[in-house]
Amino acid sequence: MAKIKAFEAGSIQTLEHTINDWLRNELTQNNHQVNIKFMSHSYGSENDQKFTALIVYEYC
C-alpha cells in the first residue's frame, strides 16, 4: 500500500536536505526496499517563502 510523506521548508536547500535525510533513513531501516511512485513540489509567493514537497512511496 502506498504512503504519502509531506515536507515543508523555508529554503529549497533545506527542503533538499530534509528529503535526502528522510530517504537515507528509510532506505537504511527497510533494507533498500523503498519504491518512490511519485514526487511533487511547489513554492509560495515572494511574500510566503515556503517550499513544499510530497512523495508517494511504498515498501517493496
- pLDDT for 10-45, tens place per residue? 999 999 999 999 999 999 998 888 999 999 989 877
* Cut 0.75: pTM above it: yes
Nearest alpha carbon to residue 54 among 25, 11, 21, 15: 15
**Is there a contact between 19 and 39 (Cβ–Cβ < 8 Å)?**
no
| C-alpha cell recorded at residue 20 | 535526502
Radius of gyration of the chain measured on its C-alpha atoms: 13
pLDDT of residue 32: 84
Residue 15: other Cβ atoms inside 10 A: 19
What does DSSP say about strands 3-9 and 34-43: parallel, antiparallel, or unpaired?
Answer: unpaired
**Is there a contact between 12 and 52 (Cβ–Cβ < 8 Å)?**
no
Question: pLDDT confidence of 47, banded at 50, 70, 90?
Answer: confident
